[in-house]
A and B are shown apart, each in its own frame.
Chain A
Amino acid sequence: MITIPYLTAVSTYFSYGLLFAFGQLRDYSRRIFDWWSANNLHGYAPICLAHEDFYIRRLYHRIQDCFGRPISSAPDAWVDVVERFSNDNNKTLKRTTKSTRCLNLGSYNYLGFGSYDEYCTPLVIDSLKKFSPSTCSSRVDAGTTSVHAELEECVAKYVGKPAAIVTGMGYATNSAIIPVLIGKGGLIISDSLNHTSIVNGARGSGATIRVFQHNTPAHLERVLKEQIAEGQPRTHRPWKKIMVVVEGIYSMEGEICQLPEIVSICKKYKAYVYLDEAHSIGAIGKTGRGVCELLGVDTADVDIMMGTFTKSFGSCGGYIAGSKDLIQYLKYQCPAHLYATSISTPSAQQIISAVKVILGEDGSNRGAQKLARIRENSNFFRAELQKMGFEVLGDNDSPVMPIMLYNPAKIPAFSRECLRENVAVVVVGFPATPLLLARARICISASHSREDLIKALQVISKAGDLTGIKYFPAAPKKQEEVKDTIKLD
């Protein structure tokens, strides 16, 4: 539930209206100008349809320096951000050879495996020397090594399912596997804020797609009842298969899914549950086993558990874990397994070593320390931000915390102000988020120390004062009179 001050909502709409109006005016003058000047591209088809890249050209390019900043070091707690300059008002950006060391609040480095690790990296380098950087072949041809087999077993055991299949790319895991699981005549009910990979996979499958209100099990039940009663479109025959797709942690909201209620509703109506744990595996739960462990849901109740290794394990690729029959079927049918190149062997080794560290099987308790530290860091940071008066989304224990900005002008202002103070934050606007709800998304890592977090809080507070994003009244300091406190609704 996002609470917006009414005046901010009105001013945000007005700002976007102004930006769109100026963009249209510029497009018109560009069209008149081009009509006058000679055009020697007759017979060529346009690259985009007329209106499709309007947002990119007229809004995104103006603040392009806040997105896609190149880095020149491993994305640890501190990262080297390459400086860029532009001579034509951000239409093109040129890199310089200088870089600044900034505090990294943007990388999904939840457990700190993003840079050199004393256990994992030597093993990865050994594996790189023994196997090559890439297998250069698909899993069924020559791309399965002993490391791949070990990885699939390791993942299955870690997640708590009988078997698992691993693919080389996290996005492709969703978009290549959902069409294999469900086809025409099936029904996919997905959360309204699901990731694009799930949306693409669902669209590619040919099944009917319905959307339920974000994280609202009551609405899911209503949609399920309606759809089961209506049946397939036009023929009204019963659905061949119903699959409900939810995510563990929603990366733009930092919210944790209400899994127990959703699983019980799906059991009642006999629908399958597909859980995408891209952000939650390795980051939450007492031993890092994700949202099922945190909320106490039995993994046997979730039919398909999907996740990626990019966030907490410092590697690449994605996995699907499920029953032995399901994984066997996927190995016969899934195009990501049959035709795509297998995950690179050193990356697989990194995942195996990372899982060993998390479970403490490498002989030290670094894994438990990392998990405790990320929980502490997230809760401390979130509490301090809320005390300062920022509007921070997300549940407790979630390492993702979006700070609401709303106004389109505050997006580049906040980002640039933080970069000036050597803190690198990620800002997100339309269309990744709804138009009104632009935000700065902070990702906390286990490798951030307490001093790093305090410095980040000071910089964010200063930038927040300058840009005016402290929408809630700040909690008063303890020494003030109790009767002057303002209650937060």
Chain B
Amino acid sequence: MAKLYVKAVAPPDMNRNTEWFMYPGVWTTYILIIFFGWLAVLSVSGCSPGMAWTVVNLSHFLVTYHSFHWMKGTPFGEDQGIYNALTWWEQMDNGQQLTSNRKFLTVVPIVLYLIASHTTDYRHPWLLLNTLALMVLVVAKFPNMHKVRIFGINADK
């Protein structure tokens, strides 16, 4: 197969924790991980496809909520802790709202929700769980929620 090459230009972002998201290939990897996760759940558990999509949706919610909206700071010490009060979502694109990366990351949980609720025929209780997951994720990604900590949850001491 002919090798497809892409050009990688260093983006002028000083934050090494979020700069990797601006290189080519990230969106495809994200979507492929979700798809292969669905296949893995189906092959391991042998449940219905709708159930597998629900499982994928809920685990996607847990993983992305934890890594984007709960973990604060950066996993290395070289930046002397200037991002220690910001979650990964707030550090993305240097705090600029409504960039294409952010729009993509908002659309993915919505599409996952639509697939999961459609393939489970909108049955209870999966619909409730899926909807709750989607609500939490989408509200967390609103531009107005930048640096907001509800009831002081996850705020600094």
Q: Do A and B come from one complex?
A: yes
Measured in the bound complex, the distance between the Cα atoms of B78 and A203 in whole Å is 13
Determine whether the beta carbon of B8 is less than 8 Å from that of A437: yes
Shortest Cβ distance from B94 into A: residue = A211
Determine whether the beta carbon of B5 is less than 8 Å from that of A6: yes
**Max count, chain B CB within 10 A of own CB: residue among A13, A54, A55:** A13
Q: State which residues 1-41 of B face A: CB under 8 Å.
A: 3-14, 16, 19-20, 23-26, 28-29, 32-33
Known A7-B4, A13-B25, A13-B29: A192·B78 in contact at CB below 8 Å: no
Measured in the bound complex, the distance between the Cα atoms of B12 and A212 in whole Å is 6
Determine whether the beta carbon of B81 is less than 8 Å from that of A3: no
Measured in the bound complex, the distance between the Cα atoms of B147 and A196 in whole Å is 28
A41 at the B interface (CB under 8 A): no
Q: How large is the interface on B (under 10, 10 to 19, 20 to 34, 35 or more residues)?
A: 20 to 34
B75 at the A interface (CB under 8 A): yes
Q: How large is the interface on A (under 10, 10 to 19, 20 to 34, 35 or more residues)?
A: 35 or more
Measured in the bound complex, the distance between the Cα atoms of B8 and A1 in whole Å is 6
Determine whether the beta carbon of A9 is less than 8 Å from that of B75: no
Residues of B within 8 A of A437 (CB): 8
A469 at the B interface (CB under 8 A): no
- Number of A-B pairs, beta carbon distance below 8 Å: 113
Shortest Cβ distance from A51 into B: residue = B73
Q: Is the interface of B mostly helix, strand, loop or mixed?
A: loop
Question: Distance (Å) between the CB of B28 and the closest chain A CB?
Answer: 6
A482 at the B interface (CB under 8 A): no
Shortest Cβ distance from A203 into B: residue = B80
Known A51-B71, A54-B75: A10·B8 in contact at CB below 8 Å: no
Determine whether the beta carbon of A7 is less than 8 Å from that of B20: no
A68 at the B interface (CB under 8 A): no
B96 at the A interface (CB under 8 A): no
Residues of B within 8 A of A471 (CB): 3
Shortest Cβ distance from B26 into A: residue = A13
A214 at the B interface (CB under 8 A): yes
A22 at the B interface (CB under 8 A): no
Determine whether the beta carbon of B23 is less than 8 Å from that of A51: no
Residues of A within 8 A of B13 (CB): 192, 211
B76 at the A interface (CB under 8 A): yes
Determine whether the beta carbon of B23 is less than 8 Å from that of A52: no
Measured in the bound complex, the distance between the Cα atoms of B73 and A431 in whole Å is 14
Determine whether the beta carbon of B77 is less than 8 Å from that of A213: no
Question: Distance (Å) between the CB of A216 and the closest chain B CB?
Answer: 9
Determine whether the beta carbon of A4 is less than 8 Å from that of B29: no
Residue of B9, B19, B72 touching A51 (CB-CB under 8 A): B72
Per CB-CB distance, the 9 closest pairs between chain A and chain B, nearest first, are A9-B25, A435-B20, A54-B75, A13-B29, A6-B4, A192-B12, A55-B75, A55-B76, A431-B16
Q: List the interface of chain B (C-beta within 8 A of A).
A: 3-14, 16, 19-20, 23-26, 28-29, 32-33, 71-78, 80-81, 84
Q: List the interface of chain A (C-beta within 8 A of B).
A: 1-7, 9-10, 12-14, 17, 48-49, 51-56, 192-193, 196, 199, 203, 211-214, 219, 430-431, 434-437, 471, 489
